[in-house]
């Protein structure tokens, strides 16, 4: 990755921010980049194991989009931070506590139904988020968002169609889709939960308020669940903490694979 400069726009086009806001914004960019990196890594685990060839190819294509977005977002985080960390340093040398991804994306793949439910809940959210981020006052983030929203639309479509097919399919496929939905629902509140610094970022026009995405996300999820004849789980127990580095046990295991080469051979290139 080192050889290619993904964005030749230097940090010169970064918005003028005070040091406190800048640090919070870097953390937010890591949140977006880590979502793509970790979910991309999870989907990559399906490579060679998909239920049919077409879906094997689809999941790895989605992984490729997500990792492409992650590369750009981590590069942007490094530029804004201005401490000399590039995409590789950020992806390969941070420990689990420094990762800012949602707990949802680090959950194990489970069966195909669970992977599709996870993808749909995430993509329906990231589509709404990137649509709004195209208007970010950071031109670097706005440009990435304009590309990411087009990709998220296809990810949402692919996973949403699968939810309908599985939910409104056989008794077995419906049971599996409903179980997956029940298992993952506790992680969805985290997507709309504001962190203490988010208000300052929203006031600077850098990001939307997290809670502002909820109505559009709800409407899309309700529509798909209705078509899929699936039941919306009761709100109840909820899990959050990914954005502050309090992850599930799974993240460390993901990183041990993802970061192995750079940890064993620091600075290795090919």
Partner 1 sequence: MTLAATSTPKDAADVRALLDAVTDPEIPVLTIGDLGILRDVRVDDAGAVTVVITPTYTGCPAMSAIELAIRDRLLEAGCEAVRVETVLSPAWTTDWMSAEGRRKLEAYGIAPPADGAGEGRGALFAADPTVRCPHCGSQETEKVSEFGSTACKALYRCRACAEPFDYFKCI
* Residue nearer to partner 1 on the CB measure, 96 or 141: 141
Q: Cβ distance 206 to 138 under 8 Å?
A: yes
HSE-CB at 88 with a 13 A cutoff on CA atoms is 14
C-alpha span between 195 and 34 (Å, rounded): 16
């069966």: which residue's tokens? Answer: 111
- Looking at beta carbons only, is 103 or 224 nearer to partner 1? 224
Can you tell me whether residue 263 is helix, strand or coil? helix
Q: What are the helix (H) ranges across the chain?
A: 19-44, 53-81, 87-92, 103-106, 112-133, 139-167, 171-184, 198-203, 214-227, 250-258, 260-264
Q: Name 256's Cβ contacts closer than 8 Å, sequence gap at least 6.
A: none
Contact between residue 11 and residue 74 where contact means Cβ atoms under 8 Å apart: no
Q: If binding is defined by CB under 8 A, does position 153 make contact with partner 1? A: yes
Q: Which range, of 82-90, 167-175, 216-224, 232-240, touches partner 1 by CB under 8 A? A: 216-224
- Per CB under 8 A, does 161 bind partner 1? yes
The stretch near partner 1 (CB under 8 A) out of 140-148, 179-187, 208-216, 246-254 is: 140-148
Question: Which lies closer to partner 1 via its Cβ, residue 82 or residue 139?
Answer: 139
Q: Considering only residues 45, 55, 168, 183, which one is a binding residue for partner 1 as defined by CB under 8 A?
A: 55
Check binding of 61 to partner 1 (CB under 8 A): yes
Choose which of 49, 157, 238, 253 interacts with partner 1 (CB under 8 A): 157
Interface ranges with partner 1 (CB under 8 A): 3-9, 54-55, 57-58, 61-62, 64-69, 71-72, 139, 142-144, 146-148, 150-151, 153-154, 156-158, 160-161, 220, 223-224
């Amino acid at each position: 990755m080192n050889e290619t400069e993904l964005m030749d726009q230097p940090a010169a086009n970064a918005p003028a921010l005070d040091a406190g806001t800048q640090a919070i914004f870097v953390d937010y960019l890591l949140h977006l980049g880590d979502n793509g990196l970790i979910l991309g890594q999870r989907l990559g685990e399906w490579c060679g194991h998909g239920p049919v060839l077409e879906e094997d190819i689809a999941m790895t294509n989605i992984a490729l989009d997500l990792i492409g977005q992650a590369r750009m977002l981590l590069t942007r985080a490094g530029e804004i931070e201005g401490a000399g960390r590039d995409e590789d340093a950020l992806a390969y040398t941070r420990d689990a506590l420094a990762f800012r991804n949602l707990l949802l994306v680090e959950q194990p793949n489970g069966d195909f139904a669970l992977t599709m439910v996870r993808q749909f809940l995430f993509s329906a959210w990231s589509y709404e988020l990137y649509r709004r981020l195209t208007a970010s006052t950071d031109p670097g983030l706005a440009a990435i968002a304009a590309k990411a929203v087009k990709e998220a639309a296809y990810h949402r479509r692919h996973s949403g169609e699968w939810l309908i097919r599985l939910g409104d399919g056989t008794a077995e496929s419906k049971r599996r889709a409903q179980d997956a939905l029940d298992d993952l629902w506790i992680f969805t509140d985290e997507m709309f939960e504001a962190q203490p610094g988010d208000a300052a970022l929203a006031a600077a026009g850098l990001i939307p308020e997290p809670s502002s995405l909820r109505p559009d996300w709800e409407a899309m999820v309700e529509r798909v669940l209705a078509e899929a004849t699936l039941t919306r789980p009761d709100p109840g127990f909820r899990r959050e903490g990914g954005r502050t580095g309090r992850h599930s046990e799974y993240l460390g295991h993901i990183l041990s694979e993802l970061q192995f080469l750079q940890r064993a051979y620091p600075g290795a290139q090919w």
